[in-house]
Amino acid sequence: MAAITLNALAHTYTDNPTKPEDYAIREMTHVWEQGGAFALLGPSGCGKSTLLNIISGLLKPSNGEVLFDGKRVNELKPEERNIAQVFQFPVVYDTMTVFDNLAFPLRNIGVPEYKVKSKVYEVAEILELSDQLKRKAKGLSADQKQKVSMGRGLVRDNVSAILFDEPLTVIDPQLKWKLRRKLKQIHEQFNITMVYVTHDQLEASTFADKIAVMYNGQIVQFGTPRELFENPAHTFVGYFIGSPGMNFFDAKLTAKGEKDALMFGEHEISVSDAMLARLKAMDAKKITLGIRPEFVHVWEGKNNDAFSVAVDYVEDLGTYKILSFIFNGQLMKARLSEDQKVPSGQIYVSFPEQWTKVYVDEYLVDLTDHTVEGDTAKEIDHAN
């Protein structure tokens, strides 16, 4: 088991990189603490597999270091790193039995046969493969094969970490939740550092205690599912997490009498005086406001403090409804609870100050005094 540190890490697949876009991984410093269950979440092509392959040693980074428990491992081959990697597609030897597949990594390093046996039985029990041990892997279903792949990662006592690269892709939807729960249980039992790569926010938040959201080769936020939902550090996090994602609209800081105000067209959006002062001090040019549909307040009757907007349509999603409305020419969404009256025509909405997030050049302007970890802290500092 190990803490994994990525120190000023960057990677490019091109020979002569000249611009940030030439990098699949843009310079990042990040720590996966020992024993944690983490997810690496992001859209296709953002660099997730590249990062995982650098950690496991399949890929040599162009710049920076990988450290396990503080020791540099850049020069170590994958097999010397004691990392187990589970890929999208099961890696099993079809002609071998399930027992021999599970035993393979142990026999490979000369573990005595009596120990091999007890370890294989233990792991097979956890993965509910005990009654399959004598079968040839060839006849197994896709999810059973993937369980064998996972089992091969778990048999060794000394693994530093297990890396999962979209391991449930080939699994039937109704079995996915079962395997995900199994992984969680395995994590609790073995206390191994686990990094789980996915582009699915539900998969990430059901598996991980903390999620790293990756975008364009960078980790733009590392936090609990709740932190990502309530306080997205980057507009991409607001957009990518949540269903539907955050509403965004551009705003301008404008002098209004003695004071400054944040305007969306003709409408003044309420933010704290401290925020107005911060934006002025930053001389912010590109200001974006974000509010989640869950936090838009929809008034049942006329409310002079709220904005008058036009209902566009209402989508019924069973236990809740999504209201689409037009505000200042822009389509936005609000989530209505099951018992909330469905409005029509001209209605009133307001944006509670606490949930109206302010972004400058896509990064959150955070006035609270909490410590944010890793890259995000740096980037927020930079934005501030």
Ligand X SMILES: Nc1ncnc2c1ncn2[C@@H]1O[C@H](COP(=O)(O)OP(=O)(O)OP(=O)(O)O)[C@@H](O)[C@H]1O
Q: Using CB under 6 A as the criterion, which residues of the chain lie in contact with ligand X when the complex forms?
A: 13, 24, 42, 44-50, 199
How far apart are CB 42 and ligand X at their closest, in Å?
6
Comparing CB distances to ligand X, the nearer of 54 and 137 is 54
Cα-atom radius of gyration of the chain, to the nearest Å? 25
How far apart are CB 35 and ligand X at their closest, in Å?
25
CA 314 to chain CA centroid, nearest Å: 29
How far apart are CB 295 and ligand X at their closest, in Å?
30
Comparing CB distances to ligand X, the nearer of 183 and 214 is 214
Burial of 137 (0-12, 13-18, 19+ CB in 10 A): buried
CA dihedral 257, 260, 263, 268 (to 10 degrees): -70
From CA 98, how far away is CA 145, in angstroms rounded?
9
**CA dihedral over 163, 166, 167, 168, signed as positive or negative:** positive
How far apart are CB 346 and ligand X at their closest, in Å?
44
Comparing CB distances to ligand X, the nearer of 24 and 208 is 24
How far apart are CB 14 and ligand X at their closest, in Å?
8
How far apart are CB 89 and ligand X at their closest, in Å?
12
CA-nearest of 298, 290, 301, 277 to 384 is 277
Burial of 125 (0-12, 13-18, 19+ CB in 10 A): exposed
From CA 382, how far away is CA 100, in angstroms rounded?
53
Provide the β-strand partners of residue 11.
25
Beta strands in 224-375 (DSSP E): 247-256, 259-264, 267-269, 287-291, 297-299, 307-316, 320-327, 330-337, 346-350, 357-360, 363-364
Comparing CB distances to ligand X, the nearer of 86 and 129 is 86
How far apart are CB 50 and ligand X at their closest, in Å?
3
**CA dihedral over 132, 138, 141, 147, signed as positive or negative:** positive
In sequence order, what are the residues at sequence separation of 6 or more whose Cβ sits closer than 8 angstroms to the Cβ of residue 197? 39, 40, 48, 49, 52, 163, 164, 165, 166
Comparing CB distances to ligand X, the nearer of 144 and 198 is 198
How far apart are CB 265 and ligand X at their closest, in Å?
37
Beta strands 307-316 and 346-350 are antiparallel
CA-nearest of 39, 144, 148, 38 to 102 is 148
CA dihedral 161, 166, 172, 175 (to 10 degrees): 30
To the nearest 10 degrees (0 to 180), the angle between helices 173-190 and 113-126 is 130
Comparing CB distances to ligand X, the nearer of 42 and 151 is 42
How far apart are CB 46 and ligand X at their closest, in Å?
4
Comparing CB distances to ligand X, the nearer of 217 and 290 is 217
Comparing CB distances to ligand X, the nearer of 48 and 234 is 48
Secondary structure of residue 313 in the 3-state scheme: strand
How far apart are CB 285 and ligand X at their closest, in Å?
29
